[in-house]
Amino acid sequence: MKPSLREPAAQDNEGAILQFELDDFQIETRDALRHYLEKEVAPSVDSYEAQAKPAPPEMIAAMRDYGLLGGLLPESAGGFNLSMTTYGTLIAEVARVWPSLRSITSTSNLAASVLADAGSPELREKYLPRILSGKSVAAFALSEPNIGSDAANVQTRAEATPDGWSVNGRKLYISNGPICELGVVFVKAAMPDGKQGVSCLLFESDMEGFSCTPLSKMGMHSCPLGELLFDGVRIPATNLIGAPGNAFSLAKKYLNVGRCVVAFSALGIAEVALEAAVRYARDRVQFGRPIGAFQLVQQMVADMMALVETSRLLCYRAADALDRKDSQSSLWCSMAKRHATDAVLRVAELSLQVHGGAGYTSLFPVERYYRDARHLSIAEGTNQIQSMLVAQHALGLSALR
């Protein structure tokens, strides 16, 4: 059953004690999504991942009905105006079942958010319905061969032409790249004062001069990764998103949201890895009793439980800060992203260890949990970058300049 995606109006909670419990709307929405995922998605995951087949279009489109496409966007832009807490809860739910589907959907949603935030009315009217319906998969093209977290120094160039822009450069490690129909690309371009600044343009994959090379990777095989090549791609002037040279702040804003999304994704995988370990420790019998009765196995389970719960608390804390537009939201997002993505690797590793030799095979899904989680400590800024950003808040000293 599809949920009613109209969230109750947020209450003014200034100065209130944070409540880390889901309300009735969030529980109903989560449970409806969980039912769909268990019935319609879960049976296909292992087959698609083994063949590195992208998640099918009908499943991507179905995410619209459950708030994953357009969840954070205002209703005026075709979204559901969900809180970050609600959206994050849904992200974790999809990540529990199929991290590749989560990545495809949230990447498309990230591009849609940029377009809804700073795109012209004409651009929004033309492209947002395609993305939010799931009919078109979108990419967020920021990273380059020599540029990762240093977004202010992108090297892809956009030169002004009489009718728009000519774009030349390469973007690397781009989720959805091989299957995207459109996307947002961050480029270095001249500003009105003649200086160079970061601008954002909307591109379509059928534009002449655009190509994508798929990249093999360790996990999440059903969410294609690619290197994008812009070889004199002509992009109309009307496809500029925001003001020329002012896209760096736009990129930073949505990287912040992206870090919270990644943290919730890690939480979802950690939850299901813990559940798998508990289930196996109860069922597996050695020396005449379940292995869960042995103290060292209990130690691993206790460690996993603590890591999952601390991740959950930091995810909710970061989401709450974003919902309240707290000036410290970037700190909480970096902390949540760093902790949750480190934690999920340890939880997945311990879950695999509880499974013993069986965990190392594809007979059980725990080996996939580890592979699927591994990139999360790298995505949206490595955890080493997050550590520096967190420490900077306390010390007032930057390690980057």
Catalytic residue positions, numbered: 380
CA dist 233 to 124, 206, 255, 339, Å?
21, 10, 25, 40
Token digits for 8? 């109750």
Is the Cα torsion angle 304, 309, 315, 318 positive or negative in sign?
Answer: negative
Give the angle 70-197-388 at the CA atoms, nearest 5°. 70
CB 53 within 8 A of CB 222: yes
**Among all chains, which residue has been given the structure tokens 């200034």?**
14
Q: Which stretch of DSSP H or E encloses residue 123?
A: helix 121-132
Collapse the DSSP code of 349 into the 3-class scheme (helix H, G, I; strand E, B; otherwise coil) and give the result: helix
Give CA 162 to chain center in angstroms: 37
Q: Which amino acid is at 374?
A: R
Question: What is the rounded (10 degree) CA torsion for 155, 255, 99, 66?
Answer: -130
Instruction: Please name the residues in contact with 142: beta carbons below 8 A apart, sequence gap of 6 or more.
Output: 151, 154, 171, 186, 251, 255
The string of DSSP letters for 132-149 reads HTTSS-EEEE--BTTBSS
Instruction: Count Cα atoms within 13 angstroms, Cβ side, for 134.
Output: 21
**Among all chains, which residue has been given the structure tokens 């030349």?**
168
Distance CA 33, CA 269 (A): 16
159 strand-pairing partners:
166
The terminus-to-terminus CA distance of the chain in angstroms comes to 52
Q: Where are the beta strands (DSSP E) in 162-238?
A: 164-175, 182-190, 196-204, 210-215, 225-236
Smallest CA-to-CA distance from 103 within 347, 333, 269 is with: 269
